[in-house]
Structure 1
Amino acid sequence: MTQATAIADMSAVELLAHYRAKRLSPVEVAEDTLARIERFNPQVNAYCYTDPKGALEAARGAEQRWLKGEPCGALDGLPISIKELTATCGMPTRKASLLIGEEGPWDVDAPITGFLREAGAVIVGKTTSPEFGWKGVTDSPIYGITRNPWDTRMTSGGSSGGAAVAASLNLGVLHQGSDAGGSIRIPSSFTGTFGFKPTFGYIPQWPASATTLVSHLGPMTRTVEDAVLFLQTVARPDPRDALLGAPRHTPWLAQNTDLRGLRIAYSADFGYVDVDPQVARVVDQAVERLAQLGAQVEAVDPGFSNPFELFKTVVHAGSVGLAGQLSEAQKHLLDPGLLRFTEQCQHTTLAHFTAAQQARAELMAHMNAFHARYDLLVCPMMPITAFEAGHDVPPGSGLDDWMKWSPFSYPFNLTQQPAASVPCGFSSDRLPIGLQVVGARFNDDQVLRVCRAFEQAFPTTHPPAPIIRN
């Protein structure tokens, strides 16, 4: 029997190899995962809901199939999590809001949840999010604060903060995130995990997000290989998602770590971002490592001005109706920051949105032309490391909006490009730093290839347990 401590370190691909060889049972893995969630979750708040009974029942079914050598799908017996905002049959989807009651009914799966379930995944629970996923950190009136496992005083980032923490501590091996402005990549950078936002439409979405035109679903994992396993399962059409997105195909993963001939543009600050010197130093080193792997790296900015106002208009337009639907009593139940956000949205007009869509189309055309010259763009994922938990902006920064401390993330929601955060090092106080790798639309495979090559050549570490500092 494999030791529980070994299970805690295994990837999805490794677990499947053990199942195939009958060295390990899905029941053992589910029991170990649930035990570690019970032990660590009170310290970090990665999960807002767990289903031990349902998970063990699913694991027992997977165990019997593996004993017969007849797995039902590519993920049979793997423990996974679903983000709280994503519909999951039998589990609450309260959008982290006191406005939504516990009664349900919770009787439908979103397409991504259904695909994962059909492939045999063991859904152990749902991970935390801020209310309606509205900001870049993870705390809410209903579920409280989610904390960074590298230092529990610090934020996990958001809005897929719970999924990132679960991935960092390996509380399940595959984790579903969503990203409408950085919500996969921000927490992946802050927690030292791999997060991938595929080309828009690569994974179907239903029910539609309020920010439909910039919202992507994707995997959050410890390894790129595990993320590809996730993508190979969920990159399928669903008739409930009526938006035309990326051509769906099975992503491949090159084993070759030689990046010779690949043209990579490196922008340290996009020409307008103030980057923490420690972050800049670590990312510079990571880019040097890409060159060591054979890539042709050129220092060049992507050539667009800060699209903050453009992105804000697009997001505000998606949420313009929320405040008008709320009674005074309901407004008092909202996260105060979300209430201010919804009130700001009321000033967005159809003319503003139409102008924003035109500007967005121009930005997309600009980046399409950029990628005719460069295969990939790399940059810091975040200009800072994780800051104190319980705050929407870094304390003492003078900032008034989460978008202002995540300037590298949302441009690529506007352009609908594939983008990943891959861990590339640590600050002096051992907080993770991420490298963002951005590809042309529909060129997801190339982003994954580079991230895999970097990961193999320069592996990272993960915390065996939450690090509690006073």
Structure 2
Amino acid sequence: MTGELIGLTAQDLIEGYRKGEFSPVDATRAVLARIEETDPALNAFVRVDAEGALAQAEESARRWRAGEPTGLVDGVPVSVKDILLQKGAPTLRGSRTVSAEGNAEGNWDEDSPSVARLREQGAVLVGKTTTPEFGWKGVTDSPLSGATRNPYDTSRTAGGSSGGSAAAVAVGAGPLSLGTDGGGSVRIPASFCGIFGLKPTYGRVPLYPASAFGTLSHVGPLARTAADAALMMDVISGPDPRDWSASGPPSGGFRDALHGGVRGLRVAYSPTLGGQVAVRPGVASVVRAAVTRLAELGAYVEEVDPDFTDPVEAFHTLWFSGAARVVQHLPASKRQLLDPGLREICTRGARYSALDYLAAVDARMELGRRMGAFHSTYDLLVTPTVPITAFEAGVEVPRRSGLRRWTGWTPFTYPFNLTQQPAASVPVGLDGDGLPVGLQLVAARHRDDLVLRSAHALYEAGVASHASPNTA
């Protein structure tokens, strides 16, 4: 039963609970056993609360026996990236500078909005997943917890910064995980680990405490299917008064928007953003084959590039300034405990002036204008999620690549944090080395429904799927 349960989606679990085929306690025990089996190799979790999770599962089982489930995910095991507050659990954010005894936000006595919505709707919170320090880069390793490894090849990175969440979902250590994405941090590890990851429109999922990275930072689901992600979105997009920048309540359910397919959609396929990105051949061929299937499913596909040049300098200004703000309160002695790469970008970020920052905001607004015009013609933009597959664990950039920072190999992801558009990574196959490849779907702001619907169509057609990783 354990092996069967860890392979089920969240929706499968709910259906099984409803029919009485198994209970939330069975599912939680299976997930905890899976974590114990796989985490020594993967290092996806910084904290596992087996006792607390089983107690939550017992409560859920009683509700199901009474025919009174409390919400959409009652009894579903969920993990939470260790950037987001969870009541009763330390949120150390991958840093040795954060005390496990408590923090300035409230001594671990409250949930972030998305965690609160999951708890209210009965989710079983099994543990906190790994992150690079303060979520600063596109791979997951930190001075606090070491490197998180890829389920398909444990010598390689899981990606980041939600790498622990992606690795956990990929091996069946819970069907759902909650991540954050400030420059690709949900989509990059989803691509590297062969699962689905969604960065919703900014504000669609409330965030508290506010991120030092400002409105670049989004909260989103990692799952094995788009349908499970839509289920999670129906939970975590609930309003919260602590986030003044959040959107109003969604006009309809995300699960209700899944159906309808892609027939008639106008799809722009940009394989290299106009020659700006060198894409590995194995990635390019897998993505192109998936785009061909989109056309066969009835979408009007045109190979065309959006009208923008690489906005990396504007992104760096905003990102590095945010990083500097994160550590501003630390004395010099504590700064020596930081990841050296983080310390380096914080030093650079502290040198920017207000005028530099506002110039980056201007560039961001212009990029948003251009993408708004682009989506007046095209419903979707399709690109590879990442131009490469997973590389060696424990390094920020591939060795001998000549790159300096993680943004050098993620040019398809961070532009859409600047524009706040919804974007998802869909697993569409493996390259010649047996490593996952992701296809990115991008839509206009507030068209999260269109991204989820199109991704779901790829799953229904068998284009997207979660292959079993090599990890035992």
Bin the TM-score by the shorter chain: over 0.9
Give the C-alpha shift of residue 344 in structure 1.
1.0
Q: Which residue of 2 aligns with 1:461?
A: 466
Q: Which residue of 2 aligns with 1:408?
A: 412
Q: SS in structure 1 opposite 2:338?
A: coil
User: Deviations 1:129-176 (Å, cap 9, x if unpaired)?
Assistant: 000000000001111110000000000000000000011012011100
Give the C-alpha shift of residue 90 in structure 1.
1.0
Residue 61 (str. 1) matches residue 59 (str. 2): yes
Contact 2:133 2:339 in 1 (8 A): yes
Q: SS in structure 2 opposite 1:56?
A: helix
CA distance in 2, matches of 1:119, 1:6: 24
Residue 304 (str. 1) matches residue 308 (str. 2): yes
Q: Which residue of 2 aligns with 1:110?
A: 112
Contact 1:49 1:126 in 2 (8 A): yes
CA distance in 2, matches of 1:12, 1:324: 41
2:69 aligned residue (67, 71, 95): 71
CA 1:324/1:57 → structure 2, altered by over 3 Å: closer, same or farther? closer
**Which amino acid is 2:404 matched to?**
D
User: Deviations 1:233-290 (Å, cap 9, x if unpaired)?
Assistant: 1112211101143662322445646422110000000011111111111111110010
CA distance in 2, matches of 1:203, 1:311: 22
Q: SS in structure 2 opposite 1:86?
A: coil
User: Deviations 1:369-404 (Å, cap 9, x if unpaired)?
Assistant: 100000000000001000000100001101000011
Q: Which residue of 1 aligns with 2:284?
A: 280
CA 1:71/1:407 → structure 2, altered by over 3 Å: closer, same or farther? same
> What TM-score, normalized by structure 1, do the two folds share?
0.97
Q: Which residue of 2 aligns with 1:232?
A: 234
Unmatched segments (≥5 aa) in structure 1: none
Give the C-alpha shift of residue 355 in structure 1.
1.1
CA 1:81/1:322 → structure 2, altered by over 3 Å: closer, same or farther? closer
**Which amino acid is 2:43 matched to?**
N
Percent identical among aligned pairs is 49
**CA RMSD across the alignment:** 1.3
Unmatched segments (≥5 aa) in structure 2: none
Q: Which residue of 2 aligns with 1:266?
A: 269
Question: Structure 2 matches for 1:421-440, cutoff 5 A?
Answer: 421-440=425-444
Q: Which residue of 2 aligns with 1:26?
A: 24
Give the C-alpha shift of residue 322 in structure 1.
4.5
> What TM-score, normalized by structure 2, do the two folds share?
0.96
Question: Structure 2 matches for 1:21-420, cutoff 5 A?
Answer: 21-104=19-102, 105-245=107-247, 248-249=250-251, 250-254=253-257, 256=259, 258-271=261-274, 272-322=276-326, 324-420=328-424
Q: SS in structure 2 opposite 1:66?
A: helix
**Which amino acid is 1:404 matched to?**
G
CA distance in 1, matches of 2:112, 2:326: 22
CA distance in 2, matches of 1:464, 1:407: 26
User: Deviations 1:324-370 (Å, cap 9, x if unpaired)?
Assistant: 53323212211111111111112211001111111111111111110
Equivalent pairs, count: 465
CA distance in 2, matches of 1:465, 1:70: 39
Give the C-alpha shift of residue 461 in structure 1.
3.5
**Which amino acid is 1:78 matched to?**
V
Q: SS in structure 1 opposite 2:254?
A: coil
Give the C-alpha shift of residue 466 in structure 1.
1.2
**Which amino acid is 1:16 matched to?**
I
Q: SS in structure 2 opposite 1:175?
A: strand
Contact 2:198 2:220 in 1 (8 A): yes
Q: SS in structure 1 opposite 2:114?
A: helix
Q: SS in structure 2 opposite 1:123?
A: strand
CA distance in 2, matches of 1:303, 1:464: 37
Contact 1:137 1:161 in 2 (8 A): yes
Contact 2:261 2:453 in 1 (8 A): no
Residue 444 (str. 1) matches residue 436 (str. 2): no
CA distance in 1, matches of 2:257, 2:203: 23
**Which amino acid is 1:399 matched to?**
L
